[in-house]
């Protein structure tokens, strides 16, 4: 099964009650890990045409907050419909168990002993300052953390988070994650649904 773990960085000057509006965002960079090659790569907006064939051949997309942010934002640039691809959103999986959202930073710190190197707001500042390579590196690091969390959950059946002073387990049913989809649609740029 070919899984693409991905993350997006974006910029916008709008924020509604502390929440980022996907429709107001402009994509700056997409980073991916391709399970078929084991490689990390990234694509600025002008390079997205190179990303589409990779996503179209994927059996599953893996992300963090990807179902409600990354896929809808990326779909605005894609000439077809990425929602037709099978996806796994680690934040959604955690939220199903806990009933609340946990930040990637918190999961990474507690589970992997290593957190993020910044945050989306900082990445937006770097972009506006012309530090594109720094944003690219930050985005790749988020993909690396997401992929490590996915692998850890597959191996151990849990992710961890810090609740006040205690590290707690989030027990996850990962059995559906690696099952082949019964009917994955073939994606091409021609799919315009």
- At 85-109, the pLDDT tens digits run 999 999 999 999 999 999 998 999 9
* Short-list 124, 104, 135, 106, CA closest to 31: 135
Please check the confidence at residue 175 and state whether its pLDDT lies above 50: yes
State the pLDDT confidence band at 20, using cuts at 50, 70 and 90: low
Residue 188 belongs to some domain of the structure: no
Q: Is 50 within 8 Å of 41 (Cβ atoms)?
A: no
Q: What whole-number distance in Å separates Cα of residue 22 and Cα of residue 74?
A: 10
Q: What is the pLDDT of residues 155-173, one digit of tens each?
A: 999 999 988 889 999 999 9
Residue 144 belongs to some domain of the structure: yes
Least confident among 48-62, 66-80, 111-125? 111-125
Residue-range definition of the domain harbouring residue 144: 3-178
Residue 192 belongs to some domain of the structure: no
Residue 191 belongs to some domain of the structure: no
At 137 the pLDDT is 93
Side-chain half-sphere exposure of 127, counting CA atoms within 13 A: 23
Q: What residues have CB less than 8 Å from 133, skipping those under 6 apart?
A: none
How many domains does the chain fold into? 1
Residue 62 belongs to some domain of the structure: yes
* Short-list 58, 56, 3, CA closest to 33: 3
CATH number at residue 86: 3.30.420.10
At 190 the pLDDT is 44
Please check the confidence at residue 120 and state whether its pLDDT lies above 70: no
- Of all helices (H) and strands (E), which one includes residue 9? strand 3-11
Residue 47 belongs to some domain of the structure: yes
Side-chain half-sphere exposure of 157, counting CA atoms within 13 A: 3
Please check the confidence at residue 189 and state whether its pLDDT lies above 60: no
Where are any strands of DSSP class E within 51-184?
60-63, 87-89, 158-163, 166-171
* Short-list 192, 159, 163, 189, CA closest to 173: 159
Residue 190 belongs to some domain of the structure: no
At 180 the pLDDT is 76
Residue 146 belongs to some domain of the structure: yes
């Amino acid at each position: 099964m070919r899984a693409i773990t991905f993350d997006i960085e974006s910029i916008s000057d709008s924020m509604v009650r502390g929440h980022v509006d996907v429709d107001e965002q402009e994509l700056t960079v997409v980073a991916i890990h391709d399970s078929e090659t084991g490689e990390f790569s990234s694509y600025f907006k002008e390079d997205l045409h190179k990303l589409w064939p990779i996503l179209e051949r994927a059996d599953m997309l893996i992300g963090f907050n990807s179902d409600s942010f990354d896929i809808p934002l990326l779909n605005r640039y894609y000439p077809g419909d990425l929602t037709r691809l099978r996806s796994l959103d680690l934040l959604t999986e955690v939220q199903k168990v806990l009933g609340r959202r946990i930040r990637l930073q918190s999961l990474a710190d507690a589970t992997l002993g290593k957190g993020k190197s910044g945050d989306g707001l900082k990445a937006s500042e770097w972009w506006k300052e012309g530090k594109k390579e720094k944003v690219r590196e930050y985005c790749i690091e988020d993909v690396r953390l997401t992929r490590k969390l996915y692998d850890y959950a597959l191996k151990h059946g849990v992710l961890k988070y810090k609740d006040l002073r205690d590290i707690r387990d989030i027990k996850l049913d990962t059995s559906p994650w690696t099952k082949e989809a019964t009917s994955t649609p073939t994606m091409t740029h021609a799919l315009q649904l």
